[in-house]
Amino acid sequence: MLDKSKTLALGCDQGGYLLKEFIKIKLAESGYSVRDFGIYSADSVDYPDYAHPVASAVNSAQFPMAILICGSGNGVCMTANKYAGIRAALCWNTELARLARLHNDANILCLPGRFITESEALSAVIAFLTTDFEGGRHQARIEKIPLA
- pLDDT for 94-105, tens place per residue? 999 999 999 999
In the residue annotation, 52 being an active-site residue is answered as no
Please tell me the distance from the alpha carbon of residue 68 to that of residue 11, in angstroms, as a whole number: 5
Task: Judge residue 27's burial from the number of C-beta atoms within 10 Å of its C-beta, 0-12 exposed, 13-18 middle, 19 or more buried.
Answer: buried
Task: Give pLDDT tens digits for 105-115.
Answer: 999 999 999 99
User: What is the reported pLDDT for 5?
Assistant: 67
Catalytic residue selected from 12, 77, 103, 110: 103
**pTM as predicted:** 0.95
Indicate the residue type of 126.
I
Task: Give pLDDT tens digits for 66-78.
Answer: 999 999 999 999 9
In the residue annotation, 103 being an active-site residue is answered as yes
Average pLDDT value for the chain: 94
Q: Which domains does the chain have, with CATH numbers?
A: 4-143 (3.40.1400.10)
Catalytic residue selected from 70, 77, 91, 110: 70
